[in-house]
Structure 1
């Protein structure tokens, strides 16, 4: 699990560097150059503006609507990731048997273990790397949406509810909501997966604090994006894992 966490963080950092983080403080316009700006950030910025025009110039409502739409677009990727995760979990007993059978650390035995493991994956049509593909695909989309919100000048000039979209929430209400919803989403995810890994448990508490600190310093438009995204993820996690939990209970009941 540690390797997976490190790998995920490395991917996020790499994608962030490749997608032009140096342009973050430059307003996005139709004249912005570069593949990242022309094909990712500007279309999203344009879409946010058009949705705001549809709702009477409310960029707050536009961010809410666009966040939900973006999450819906990447939802099939999340479902695919869940299916692969379930398949890997179903194979764990077989994988444990192989590790016990080839427990010796010598090179020949470990080579045999790898061969048997790959044959097992092929037999059940499981790709152990498939869980990384949704991350690779969705991260550029989410980072581009982040850039579009941050770099669209019109957003900074509008207010929504009690806060200015272009400035941090002076009452700290939005950062608090962002932290709480992040904690709920993380806790729900770990609980649904039945993951007792201590590193994941620590991140459940550390990540909300990181989000709160960022939301205190960043424009409220980004905090609003995080809050809506978290709320969507909370419902998504519940409805995606509910059938799995029901199926697990039925299987356990049948065994009894």
Structure 2
């Protein structure tokens, strides 16, 4: 189930990304045609330029808009992380259940699925609930990515601190990658062996992409990851010492 949901998310993300790839080097204007331009990219560009007029630089504008977007998405993000946390909490129980019904015959596997569904129902866990918020976020997040990319063509977005926002910045790329590592380290990946691989792959990929993409995008990643770290600290409480509880299997404690 998880693999299928993960595949759906990956295909959705790829389709959205590819849908706008051909537009990356094209200017963006108010009268740019197409649903993606009119209702996603241009509104985000307008919001960034509005905050640039208020705050004096595109750098501060990108920070402000990133914070606004993350605040709007916060209820969905909290729902997603809480769903991941509940799934994480029952992993020992599911592992014990899988060991109990390790036989591959059809009857045993049917019992395993029934018991697993019973645990999910009792804990009020819906595996798809954590994926829906991600699907909703994708158009907004990719739209912001496209908006910043195409603003480099249309506007002179200048500098933030001493970094040219239109040019790649190794410093921002490394910082974004390191912060992504902290995001994963303070989230569900810290206790999930299957997700621990992500702690090393994703930050590395962000550093690579960030090293040749505009610094404005790396700045967006840095601010977004900073907000995610704060969110994880409040939800997952990664620095709190956890008590190990015995796992119930068939009414007995192991």
Matched, 1:160 2:160: yes
Matched, 1:138 2:137: yes
What is the RMSD of the two structures over their aligned residues, measured on CA atoms?
A: 2.9
TM-score w.r.t. the length of structure 1 is: 0.81
CA apart distance, 1:203: 2.7
TM-score w.r.t. the length of structure 2 is: 0.82
**1:44·1:145 contact (CA, 8 Å) conserved in 2?**
yes
Superimposed CA distance per residue, residues 86-120 of structure 1 (whole angstroms, 9 cap, x where no aligned partner): 33344445544543554332234323433443344
Partners of 1:104 and 1:151 lie apart in 2 by 55
Which structure 2 residues correspond to residues 226-241 of structure 1 after superposition, within 5 A?
226-241=221-236
Which structure 2 residues correspond to residues 90-109 of structure 1 after superposition, within 5 A?
90-92=89-91, 94-96=93-95, 98-109=97-108
Matched, 1:43 2:43: yes
Gapped runs of 5+ residues in structure 1? none
- Relative distance call for 1:214 and 1:70 in structure 2 (3 A) is same
Superimposed CA distance per residue, residues 44-71 of structure 1 (whole angstroms, 9 cap, x where no aligned partner): 1111111111113x11100011111111
- Relative distance call for 1:97 and 1:16 in structure 2 (3 A) is same
* Number of aligned residue pairs: 244
**1:165·1:220 contact (CA, 8 Å) conserved in 2?**
yes
Partners of 1:201 and 1:208 lie apart in 2 by 12
**1:187·1:204 contact (CA, 8 Å) conserved in 2?**
yes
Higher helix share: 1
**1:155·1:166 contact (CA, 8 Å) conserved in 2?**
no
Partners of 2:25 and 2:197 lie apart in 1 by 32
Partners of 1:100 and 1:205 lie apart in 2 by 29
Match of 2:192 in 1: 195
**2:9·2:135 contact (CA, 8 Å) conserved in 1?**
no
Gapped runs of 5+ residues in structure 2? 247-254
Match of 1:223 in 2: 218
Runs of 4+ in structure 1 over 6 Å off:
none
